[in-house]
Every structure is written in C-alpha cells, then in structure tokens.
Chains A and B, each alone.
Chain A
Amino acid sequence: MSPAPAPAPAARGPRVGPGLLLLVPSVIYLLAMFVYPFAYGVWLSLHPRTGGGLSLGNYLAFLGDPWQARTIWITASIAVPNTVLTVGLALVMAYGMRRGVWLERTVTTLLVLPIALGTVLVAEGINGFYGPKGWLSQTIQALGLADPPRLTHNYTGVMIALFVQHFPFCFLMLLGYVSGIDPALEHSARVLGATPWAVFRRVMWPLIAPGAAIAFALVFVMNFGVFPSAVLVGQPAGATRSIAIAAYQQAFEHSDMAMASAIAVVMGLCQLLGLAVILGLRARMAATGAATLGAGKR
C-alpha cells in the first residue's frame, strides 16, 4: 500500500475574509485625502500653464532658472546644519539625563511648551527676544558691551526658530530611547574596564544609533519644509528664500498651480533623497545587530 499523500501545505499569509471590509473606510479616506490630491499635483506639474499637453517643461524651467533652483541649496543649507545641531544637542542632553535629573518633570514640561505653542507664536517670541528692539539687544546696549548682533530676519533667525521648534520633540524622542537601555549594560561595561567614553562609544551609541537615525530623518524632513519661520523671522526675499516659499509664490502670487506643483514635487524628492540616505545608513547599522531595544521610559 502506498503511503497516504502528504497533506497540501497550508495556505501562507493572512486569511482573506469579510474582516477586510473593515479596511474600506480608511482606504477611502486615504484615497480621497492623500492619494488623489498627491496624484493630481503630480499630474498638474506635468501640464504647464502654457499648454501643449504632457511635458517636463515646469521642471526644466525651475531647475534652469538660477534664482529658483538656488532655493534647493538655500533650503538644504538651513535644513542639514540645523538637523545636525538639533539632533546632536538633543542627544547630548538626553544622554546626560538618562538616569533622571533634578526637577525632571518641570524641565520636560518647559521643553514641550514650544510644540504646543505653534510656529507663529514662537516666531513672535523670537522677534521679541532676539529682535533689534528685543530684550537681548536692549540688555547688551544698556550694558554698553558691544553693538548687538543681528539675530533675526536673516539665516540666524531661521536657525533659532527651527531649533526652538524641533529640539523638544527630538530630545523627548531620544530620551525615551536612551533611558530605555538597561543600566546594567553600562555597569557591566564599566566593571569590564570601559571608561565612560568607551561605554558610550562601544555600548551605548550602537544601541542609540538606530533611534538617532529616525530622529534625524524626522527633523530633517520637517526642516526641509521650512516656511512660516523663513517668512516671519527670516529674509524671505533673499537669504532664507526656501523652496517652500518659491512654491508658495508660484501658487498664490503668480497663480501658476502647475509650476507650484512641480516645485512641491522637487521638494518632496529632495526630502525622500535625504530619508533614503539616512535610512540606508540605519539599515547598515541594524545589519550589525544594533537595533535591539526595550521599551523606553516614556
């Protein structure tokens, strides 16, 4: 007698059933609120106002005009250094606070405040403090120390504003990562002969790096889209004419939605490029086994 045939292998993957119907509302929402406008924008960018059907004319015009194309460089020169600064300082501070500090709750509450206040209020605050008639300038003048430096309505103003807006979020995210690492790892490394610096370099940093990469990616994307700060505390006609400002001007000053869409797509591609670089580096780190972490403190 021949052996019974082996049972057919069980179907792999999730079972398809009526439960999938539950997905329908969110799929409709996504299609209507994200996919359609996005696709429409791309379609629009490929149909220049001058007519003539499908063409790359808008993209070529944007990239061919030095005044416009320069906005990519300007935006990158704000976004990249600011992201490095924000993530770097947040990392140093989170590492220093990983075992808790005095008045920790108060400190973190103060840090969250800028997130809650929103961009415009923060910009007003920066003008009020760092501006030409602000407290800082007046104090410096009153003390007769020096000519007060110009800190607003230029590159510096935008850097300050973006830092104030994005630092708290970045810090809290990294603090969660860092404080989630078992203190016993640090202790065992110390007893095995590692100085505090060696502990950071050989044990803590490999464990923090994947989280730092995510923080870097998020802050970079937010920074690259800089708009209100570039207008309110920057120099929107010159030094801080970011790519978002260029798109805004095309859309609402020249009423050229097609060109504005093309600029927005370029901006999106730049952000995706940045993300790809960062996540590529993260994947390389993860491949060496660095991405293992417990739940954080918050």
Chain B
Amino acid sequence: MGEGIRELRFRLTKRFGAKTVLDDFALEVRGREFVTFLGPSGCGKSTALNLLAGLIPPSAGEIWLDDARVDRLPPERRGFGMVFQNYALFPHLTVFQNIAFGLELRGRRQAEVEGQVGRMLELVQLPGFETRYPGQLSGGQQQRVAIARALVIEPRLLLLDEPLSNLDAKLRLDMRAEIKRLHADLGLTSIYVTHDQAEALSLSDRVVVMREGRVMQAGTPAEIHDRPANLFVADFMGYRNFFRVTVTEAKPDGSVRGRTGALTFAGRGAARFNWGDPVVVAVRPEDLALTEYEPGENVLWGVVRLTEYLGREYDLEVRLESGQVVKARLPQPVATGSTIGLRLPPDRVIVLPPDETTGGLAS
C-alpha cells in the first residue's frame, strides 16, 4: 500500500508556559515498525503524537521523514493518517462520505473514490454500511470507519491516539487484533499511544515508556516486560513487590545478592552495582510460588491476610514478620490466617537502582 517510508526521525520539545510537557524526546522509527508510546496520563505521549501530526507546533526540535524535514509543514501536507480516541467522525456525513473525505480533497475521480471506499469497507469488515450516519453505528463500528478513513489515503505514517480506550473489554481485544492485522497486511508504519500495558505489549515491535515528558525506557515488549530498567517501568509493567536492600554481592554476569534485616535476595541486576549500594528488589505477584523451604534466600514466610478469587487464580496479601505486605498470585486457594512460605525464582527477581520519586514503592 502506497510507498512506505524508510525512516522517521524526530527530536521534540514542547513547553506550555513554564511547564515542559515533552523534554527533548528523540526517536528513530524504521519503516513498517509498530511503535507504542506508553505512559500514564500527562506523560506527554499524546502531545508527542499531536506534534508529529502537526496539530500543535513544537517549542523546539525537528521531524525528518526519510530525507525531508516535515515539522514546518501544516498537518494537511504531511500525508499522515490519524485515528482519534473518540473516533472524530464527521456527524453530518455518511460512512461513505467520511471515508471518501481525504480522497475528494486530493481530487480523485468519483469512480476511483467509489472503488477505494468499497475496498476499505471490505478491509474493516463493514461492507453495506455506506449510507449510514456515524450516529447510527456502535462504538466498534465507528472506530472501524475511523480507521478506514485514515487508511484510505495511503498514509506514510499512521498515528493512533488511544483508539481502543472508549470500547468495552471484549471489543477492545477484537479491535486490537484487527489493528495488528491491518498493520502487518498493509505494511504500515504506525505510532500508537496508550496507557494500557497489555495493548502496548501485544501490538508493538517497540515500546517507549514515558513519564513527565521523558523516555524512561525504550525496547521490545519482551525487554520492557522482563527487564525493566527502573522502578517506574517496573511498577508500570506489573511489579508489585518492592524491597529496599543493600548489595552484598555483585557478580560480573549481572547476578546480584542483597539483604535487608533477616531477608536475603538473589536476582538479576538492571544495572552494574557494587557492594554496599542501596538498591530495590522487585518481583511480580504471579512469579511467587508456594514452598515448604525454611526462610532463607528468596524464601519469605508470612501470614495470609486477604484472599481474592479471580476465576482461575487467587490474589493473596501476605504479611511478613517485618510488617511488609507481599502480593502473590497463586493457582491454588490458601486459607486466610494461615502461615505460608513463598519462593521467589532468582531469574524472575530484578534488582533496580533506587528512585525515591517513584510511587508504588512499599515503605
């Protein structure tokens, strides 16, 4: 579809008054890549997308598409496609007219427009909806039309701004698969903005985790998921148990041992550490398993304070002797009030630099 791009490069800063919402955000996106900007609201991810689209001007920076600088072009001359969170379909136009909008502005012949719109409706599985108005469609159908409208102009770059967040859970999964299929089948280059880590992991070739206008980590979904570089990314990726410890051993292969009080841990270091460094040990609830071993390295004993049944699993809150509460997700039920042992597999335990400003850290 269309001529693909080889590369998108940008370096952008955006200030609103005294507030810097995007601080020298730089990235190179390869042709046909699917990149996601992931972060909580206010992290600058939507601002970055609007800057790329040309809807707001950057305070500083450049955008290069292959060998052409595009940041000074108005949005209508960039040739991008954009899908909005609230669909932004034109309410006074039919489905056909909505999809044909971009083609008509480009002066295409009526016969060509009809053919293209028809093909697009097939592609998003909505043939026969030509004469409906957006108000007569469900949310999922509206989003399909919005995607068709963005794709019909054969965009050099597809920008998606939280396109699934207004849909219900089941539809969201269907549309997620649909977007992934379209991206692959049409050879698109896509940038996707979301606050949902599952969406980011399942769709992307590369995930850029953002916070307060800065990149916290960029990498493949597996890298982000399994080897978060800092507490913020770990917290965002579902690590719920954090222990402040002091390094007692750091090997060249990256394995790190640490201790706090009676607890000792072994895990993988996210960075180089030295003996005596203060660090944080992080582990996911689902990586904990029941054990009969005595308390020791990577084995924690505590009293079950709360059990929640989730259908297939049980979420537990276990209070350690130190007073800290550990969250575990187990396949088997455990009675509230019982004393249990939990084992932390060393390859699932990560050791991170301490970051005092990160929320979610158990005190």
A184-B86, A292-B135 given as contacts; is B91 within 8 A of A191 (CB)? no
Q: Does B19 contact A (CB under 8 A)?
A: no
Q: Quick check: is A190 within 8 A (CB to CB) of the other chain?
A: yes
Select from chain B the residue with minimum beta-carbon distance to A286.
B92
Closest to B50 in A: A187
- Report the Cα distance A227→B90, complex, angstroms: 43
Of A184, A188, A292, which is within 8 A of B92 by CB?
A: A292
Would B76 and A188 count as touching, CB distance under 8 A? no
Segment touching A, from B26-34, B100-108, B316-324, B345-353: B100-108
A191 CA / B80 CA spacing, docked (Å):
6
B105's nearest neighbour on chain A, judged by CB, is: A193
Residue of A191, A195, A198, A289 near B53 (CB, 8 A) is A191
- Which residue in chain B gives the minimum CB-CB distance to A195? B76
What is the CB-to-nearest-CB distance from A172 to chain B, in angstroms, rounded to a whole number? 24
- Chain A CB within 8 A of B75 CB: yes
We find that the number of chain A residues with CB closer than 8 angstroms to chain B is 21
Chain B interface residue count, CB cutoff 8 Å, equals: 33
Residues of chain A within 8 A (CB-CB) of B101 are 189, 192, 194, 202
Is A290's beta carbon under 8 Å from chain B? Answer: yes
> Considering only CB atoms, which chain B residue lies closest to A291 in the complex?
B92
Cβ < 8 Å to A, chain B residues 147-189: 149-150, 153, 159
Residue of A nearest to B85 (CB): A184
CA distance A194 to B81 in the complex (A): 12
With A187-B55, A292-B135 known as contacts, the answer to whether A192 contacts B88 (CB < 8 A) is no
**Complex: how many Å from CA A191 to CA B75?**
5
B334 interface residue per 8 A CB criterion: no
A288 to B82, CA, bound (A): 26
Instruction: Give the chain B neighbours of A189 by CB distance below 8 A.
Output: 90, 101
A residues less than 8 Å from B82 (CB atoms): 187-188, 191
Q: Does B133 contact A (CB under 8 A)?
A: yes
**In contact, B53 and A207 (Cβ under 8 angstroms):** no
The answer to whether B102 and A193 touch across the interface, beta carbons within 8 angstroms, is yes
B334 to chain A, nearest CB (A): 49
Whether B92 and A193, one on each chain, are in contact in the complex, defined by CB atoms closer than 8 angstroms, is: no
Most A CB within 10 A of own CB, among B77, B88, B150, B159:
B88
Which residues of chain B are near A190, meaning CB under 8 Å? 54-55, 74-76
Majority DSSP secondary structure for residues of B touching A: loop
Contacts of A289 in B (CB 8 A): 91-94, 133
The answer to whether the Cβ of B314 comes within 8 Å of any Cβ in the partner chain is: no
Give chain B interface residues in 74-125, CB to chain A under 8 Å. Answer: 74-82, 84-86, 88, 90-94, 101-102, 105-106
* Segment 63-86 of A: residues with Cβ below 8 Å from B: none
- Interface residues in A224-276 by Cβ distance below 8 A to B read none
In the assembled complex, how far is the CB of residue B228 from the closest CB belonging to chain A, in whole angstroms?
33
In the complex, A185 has a CB within 8 A of chain B: yes
Considering only residues 167-182 of chain A, those with a C-beta below 8 Å from chain B are 182
| CA A190 to CA B93, docked complex, whole Å | 16
Q: Is the CB of A191 within 8 A of B74?
A: no
A81-111 CB mask vs B (1 if < 8 Å, else 0) is 0000000000000000000000000000000
Say what secondary structure dominates the interface of chain A: helix
B76 engages A191 (CB within 8 Å): yes
**Which chain A residue has the least Cβ–Cβ distance from B101?**
A192
How many Å from the CB of A204 to the closest CB on chain B? 10
Cα(A191)–Cα(B92), bound, Å: 18
CA distance A198 to B95 in the complex (A): 19
- The minimal Cβ–Cβ distance linking A184 to chain B, given in whole angstroms, is 4
Q: How far is the CB of B83 from chain A (nearest CB, A)?
A: 9
Residues of B within 8 A of A202 (CB): 101
Q: How far is the CA of A182 from the CA of B142 in the complex (A)?
A: 16
CA distance A80 to B6 in the complex (A): 59
Residues from chain A with Cβ under 8 Å of B75 in the complex: 187, 190-191
- Whether A114 is near chain B, meaning CB under 8 Å from some CB there, is no
> Is A57 close to B, CB under 8 A?
no
Answer yes or no: A203 CB below 8 A from chain B CBs. yes
- Docked complex Cα distance between A195 and B94 (Å): 21
Task: Looking at the assembled complex, report how far the CB atom of A281 sits from the nearest CB atom of chain B, in whole angstroms.
Answer: 16
A206 at the B interface (CB under 8 A): yes
- What are the residues of chain B within 8 A of A288 when measuring CB–CB? 92
- Residues of B contacting A195 in the complex (Cβ-Cβ under 8 angstroms): 74, 76
Provide the residues of chain A in CB contact with B150, threshold 8 Å.
Answer: 191-192
What chain A residues lie within 8 Å of B86 (beta carbons)?
182, 184
> What is the bound-complex CA distance between A195 and B74, given in angstroms?
9
Residues on A with C-beta less than 8 A from B146 are 188
Give the residue of B54, B74, B81, B92 whose beta carbon is less than 8 angstroms from that of A206: B92
**What does the 1/0 interface line of B35-70 toward A look like (CB < 8 Å)?**
000000000000000100111000000000000000
User: What are 18 residue pairs bridging A and B, where the CB atoms are less than 8 Å apart in the complex?
Assistant: A184-B88, A185-B90, A185-B91, A187-B53, A187-B55, A189-B90, A190-B54, A190-B76, A191-B81, A191-B82, A191-B159, A193-B76, A193-B102, A193-B105, A194-B101, A207-B91, A289-B92, A290-B92
Give B residues with C-beta under 8 Å from A: 50, 53-55, 74-82, 84-86, 88, 90-94, 101-102, 105-106, 133, 135, 146, 149-150, 153, 159
The 4 closest A-B pairs by CB, nearest first: A184-B88, A192-B102, A292-B91, A188-B88
Given contacts A184-B85, A192-B105, A192-B149, 18 further A-B contacts (CB under 8 A): A184-B84, A187-B84, A188-B146, A189-B101, A190-B54, A190-B76, A191-B54, A191-B78, A191-B159, A192-B76, A192-B102, A193-B105, A194-B101, A195-B74, A206-B92, A207-B91, A289-B94, A289-B133
